[in-house]
Structure 1
Amino acid sequence: MSAEPLRQLPADVTSIVAFGAHPDDVDFGASATLARFAQAGVAVRYVVLTQGDAGGFEDAGREGIQATRAAEQRQAAEAVGALSVEVWDELDGHLAPTDALQRRVVKVLREHRPQLVLCPHPERDYERLQRSHPDHLACGEIITRAVYPALENPYAYPELQDAGLHAYKLRHLWFYGAPAARENTAVEIGGQLETKLQALMAHLSQHPDPQRMREFVAAQAQAVAANAGLPEGSFAEAFHTVEVNGPATIAGF
């Protein structure tokens, strides 16, 4: 499937929650797009499910790696223009879809009521397996299960409904890190490539070769733009975008 270029952001989006399995996932997958939304006045929030405790390349400082990665994620989100960052306490490398995590996601989404949710793709990419860390797949599955049907079903987690966190219908679910065959949207990121690189450079504990990382990310963004037919010199990020609820959607659990 070829990714169609998206130059104008959806006008109905005023709030976004972007989920990642680890600190840096959102920034690799979608930070330039999120920076565009934030610049347009959209409320952007990050939620990271694991502490990233298995990340990094150095033996030194392992006892403080969770705090380091949380601080890196806050710095990166600030560069993007996000309003808040939550880093949950799941263990890196052990993330799995559970009812407890699904409920926690539903709770966060009902609190913030975004029109757009971002998360890793739940399908494995065999052409580039590094995208498909098991935690990424689990994160994508958790979020997908949460947004339908639990988020919009008032009888799912009735205690949340009783607490005033009412069910609602999400419209936009965007997956980053999708297999190429699933990518259907390329967001032109304009001048936000440098913002993306700034956000990624905040995750310094994860880059044994920062310059190579920067070159790789820029080349990938240029390739996405070229594949979408954008003008030479353009940069873009690719997504598998899904309309969960639209004008033609028939309700049903």
Structure 2
Amino acid sequence: MSTGYVVLVVEDDPDAAVYMRTILQRVGMRPHVTGSPREALELLASTTVDLILTDIELPGMTGLEMIGQIKLTCPTVPIVVMTAHATVSYAVDALRAEADEFLFKPIRKPQLVEVIERLVTKARAAATPATVVLAIGAHPDDIEIGIGGTLAAHRAAGDAVVILTMSRGARGGEADDRQGESLAAAELLGARLFLKDLEDTRISAGDPTVGIIEQVVAETGPSIVYTHSANDRHQDHVAVHRAVSVATRRVPMLACYQSPSATVDYRPNRFVSIDGFTDSKLALLRAFGSQSGIRDYLMPDFVLATARYWSRYGGGTYAEPLEVIRDTSAVRRATGGTSTGATVVPVSHDTALVGDPGALPGVALGPDTTFRPDLTFRPDAERHDRS
């Protein structure tokens, strides 16, 4: 095990200090050991550490007094307090001083390593800005049908999800009903919803559509955008795709989900495993009650059968397909980055519909994953009068 964590140990007992240093070095950590609180504070002024491990009874000032000074300059660095005196008052004082953990001596190696790794991992996760994912659709329920499971996985991974729906879907039902359903689905997902009121079946590929999308992009700062494919029979879906392509040109990643009206030219090159998130997707679709009785593709068996089919090209039991159009970011390091928690298997367009791409290695879908997009579009001109 080699984490490389830098740990400041403040311990005035020579034997205990050697013990701590030995344990940390053996697991690949880099300890700085001192018995003086003042030396520890001086070290913190010039050195970045991942965690501080301190005794309470120290010369010159107590460990708790030292914590108070550390919190002024290094408020996010986790601190573990250790003592040989197992008293409730010490534990209470440590918590009041905002220590992250309180350990009684003697401390066993597995316990010490587990605490350090847990606290450092938590601190690093808190310091990492959440990835913002923007999903754009023409009508209520378009997004949830296409990538409801993927968005649920994003939320489970701590990503911020934003939904932009361009119309209230008046041609496919009562606009007020569909608005309420959209709000309910967004609440279930924990997403921020932008619901616009462009005319259903007459959405433009230019302004005001482009302007609306640009405004939401500027306000939310996404690094991943999902939208309709150009390979779709519905004119609103194609228009939104074209508008998104223009309005999100500076967003690192753009990928297209499958709609029920997608044509046979829809050729995905990424397959996101949504194992563990199918119930979440079905719950999102149930929110659209006005549509469930008139749209066969909203039936649970239909939804699961579709996801089951796409899993043949990737890992897991259920998958959602994506046409990745653009990804200009760097490859995510194996030990860093943010992912959906779902598995994504890359498949080239030459093999997307034949062979056994399930044998290809999976990668985590995140803002730093590099894709090879196919930029060929063949939209169908057939017009739809219902959304």
TM range (shorter): 0.7 to 0.9
The structural deviation recorded for 1:13 is: 7.0
* Structure 1 residue 174 corresponds to structure 2 residue 255: yes
| In 2, Cα distance between equivalents of 1:70 and 1:54 | 13
Looking at both structures, which has the greater relative contact order when contacts are Cα pairs under 8 Å and sequence separation is at least 6? 1
Amino acid across the alignment from 1:235: Y
The structural deviation recorded for 1:182 is: 2.3
Q: Counterpart in 1 of 2:269?
A: 184
- Taking structure 1 as reference, are residues 26 and 102 closer, same or farther at Cα in structure 2, changes over 3 Å only? same
* Structure 1 residue 139 corresponds to structure 2 residue 222: no
| In 2, Cα distance between equivalents of 1:236 and 1:192 | 10
C-alpha deviations, 1:38-73, integer Å up to 9, x for none? 1111000111001100113xxxxxxxx111101101
The structural deviation recorded for 1:180 is: 5.5
Larger radius of gyration: 2
- Taking structure 1 as reference, are residues 73 and 181 closer, same or farther at Cα in structure 2, changes over 3 Å only? closer
Question: Given the alignment, which residue of 309, 315, 321 partners 1:230?
Answer: 315
| In 1, Cα distance between equivalents of 2:295 and 2:205 | 33
The structural deviation recorded for 1:17 is: 1.0
Q: Counterpart in 2 of 1:89?
A: 197
The structural deviation recorded for 1:100 is: 2.4
- Taking structure 1 as reference, are residues 210 and 201 closer, same or farther at Cα in structure 2, changes over 3 Å only? farther
Q: Counterpart in 2 of 1:193?
A: 278
Q: Counterpart in 1 of 2:132?
A: 15
| In 2, Cα distance between equivalents of 1:81 and 1:221 | 23
- Taking structure 1 as reference, are residues 246 and 198 closer, same or farther at Cα in structure 2, changes over 3 Å only? same
- Taking structure 1 as reference, are residues 229 and 87 closer, same or farther at Cα in structure 2, changes over 3 Å only? closer
* Structure 1 residue 219 corresponds to structure 2 residue 305: yes
Amino acid across the alignment from 1:221: A
| In 1, Cα distance between equivalents of 2:145 and 2:271 | 15
Which stretches in structure 2 are left out of the alignment for 5+ residues?
A: 1-127, 331-369, 371-387
| In 2, Cα distance between equivalents of 1:86 and 1:246 | 26
Q: Counterpart in 1 of 2:186?
A: 77
The structural deviation recorded for 1:219 is: 0.2
Q: Counterpart in 2 of 1:44?
A: 161
Question: Given the alignment, which residue of 215, 224, 228 partners 1:116?
Answer: 224
| In 2, Cα distance between equivalents of 1:230 and 1:67 | 40
Query: Mapping of 1:154-173 within 5 angstroms?
Result: 169-173=250-254
Q: Counterpart in 2 of 1:205?
A: 290
| In 1, Cα distance between equivalents of 2:206 and 2:294 | 36
| In 1, Cα distance between equivalents of 2:265 and 2:210 | 27
Query: Mapping of 1:99-110 within 5 angstroms?
Result: 99-110=207-218
Give the share of equivalent positions with the same residue, in percent.
30
Amino acid across the alignment from 2:304: A
- TM-score, normalised on structure 2? 0.48
The structural deviation recorded for 1:181 is: 5.0
- TM-score, normalised on structure 1? 0.73
Contact (CA 8 Å) 1:32, 1:80: kept in 2 or not?
no
Question: Which 10-residue stretch deviates more, 205-214 or 217-226?
Answer: 205-214
C-alpha deviations, 1:198-243, integer Å up to 9, x for none? 10111010122688711100000000002x1435xx1010000133
The structural deviation recorded for 1:135 is: 1.0
Query: Mapping of 1:59-74 within 5 angstroms?
Result: 65-74=174-183
Match of 2:216, SS state, is helix
C-alpha deviations, 1:58-94, integer Å up to 9, x for none? xxxxxxx111101101111222231x11110111111
Match of 2:227, SS state, is strand
Q: Counterpart in 2 of 1:163?
A: none
| In 2, Cα distance between equivalents of 1:180 and 1:40 | 32
